[in-house]
Structure 1
Amino acid sequence: MAPLFPPFDPEGKPRFGTFGRIPLRVLIPNLVTLLALCSGLTAVRMAVEDRFELALAAIVFAAILDGVDGRLARALKGTSRFGAELDSLADFVNFGCVPALILYMWGLDEVGSMGWIAALLFAICAALRLARFNVMLDDPDRPPFAADFFTGIPAPAGAITVLLPVYLELVGVPHGSATAPLAMIYTIAIGVLMISKLPAWSGKTLGKKVRRDMVLPLFVLVALFAGLLASYPWLVLSVCSVLYLAFLPLSTLRYRALLADYEAEQAREAASGGAPSDVAP
């Protein structure tokens, strides 16, 4: 009789008949992902209880943990197929379903069925965005510099920015009769940006190496941002959301410039009879 909970290794292959041990470094990133999932689901409860401040804080905390678990897995050499699938499912719940439910309970319900349709569309776009991301990881035809860009805004950024109407109300912007229809249009627009082909700078290569003279100023800036976020959370999140959306056109221009240089380099290599270069310009 097979054991009720058969052991498995980091690659997801069952070991029937033997009880192997899994390194702790493999489990820690998954535990962080589960903690992020708990935070996202708790945000739904807070929204049901009309405690939107705590709901938003839970979403932000989940987004921070989402940025940590992948880097932690790579740092500990604890990446696995199981962890990747768990992270993708957690992202759909935290940054697709939960923000849509929060927005609907906050004010989208005021426009009736259209508000619910907007929430559904956002959640569906998040699912499609995550599915496309998983497929594109194995694309061999991507240019080397494409690793620095997302195709469409990522799900965590979409979740943070789509909640801008709630931030603005908490800052003091009145919740009038036109707020819900505008929020509905804004929600659909953010969903469309997630599934679009708009290049969004990922920032993955930023901060891998820091100059020695910039270490202390970096610490000061991080401490300053953390202090501002703790003291004026809704204002800081509103400003960050607006700046992120305003930065997207610049990201697109940068991507197109890199693509033009890459294609020109490939054309020169082909004309000279050499193999295409794999080095980013």
Structure 2
Amino acid sequence: MTAASSENAGPEHPAPPPPPALDRLRIGSAPDSWGVWFPDDDRQVPWQRFLDEVAEAGYSWIELGPYGYLPTDPARLGDEVSRRGLSVSAGTVFTSLHRGPAVWDATWEHVSRVAGLTRAMGAEHLVVIPSFWRDDKTAEIIEDRELTAEQWRHLATGMERLGREVRDRYGLGIAVHPHADTHIDGEENVARFLDATDPEAVGLCLDTGHYAYCGGDSVKLIETYGERIGYLHLKQVDPDILADVVADGVPFGPAVARGVMCEPPRGVPALEPVLTAAQGLGVDLFAIVEQDMYPCEPDRPYPIAERTRRFLRGCGA
């Protein structure tokens, strides 16, 4: 063999193996990643543009977002999503069940509308977000940051009732979403909530960004309460901006406007170990990218969504 042929025999260092396939995770995105927080707002992109761009960015699954942003007629919405090659993974509802039985009727009126549309779209999940203790725009304190023992009982029994009613009437499972500036936020309150509720009725939506925002460790949560996690939201937090937000006592809405939620891999938590831990649960999970960006310029979301999808493919998802 000549020197030249020896040089051409092959690379001295073989290419690294591809990441393991995360084949139990179904990747999607949500209106939130396009800066959509409200059913109607002049600073949000039209719903047609969201649907066009989320499909073009490489996602197959979407959430409904705030009820009324996407068409609420099932036939029309079904046509709009299917002709773009999309499917719906979940709807989202907002609750204040810690206030007791007096709020049940109003809660169910809201939930039933969203659950009906979610079921009609063939989805099986309802993400449940607890109410805020301070206004996410004005920072006005709406109620005490800490719940009383009685309010914790109302919250637990109310969520259990909601989970059973939604399952029995609509065939959906609820996934309660720990969220910044709510009473279900960081490690202590999430553990308290999970320990107080029936696993058969109440699941958890782990939002990696909100949990990090509130000081939680997503991998630890998956390892500790993995059987309760029925749904994932993927996002990251910019640790430098978060440090300023915490130091200044900034409410969640203005914190988002500062850019506290960032695209991967620029923030925390690192998503690779989170995805690996979720894959290790051995169950099929939706993993929905949800980067809070309200308000934002209309041309900003699509490039971020495309880069994020590429990043997740590089992780094996």
TM-score range, shorter chain: under 0.3
- TM-score w.r.t. the length of structure 1 is 0.27
More helix by share: 1
Higher relative contact order (CA 8 A, sep 6+): 2
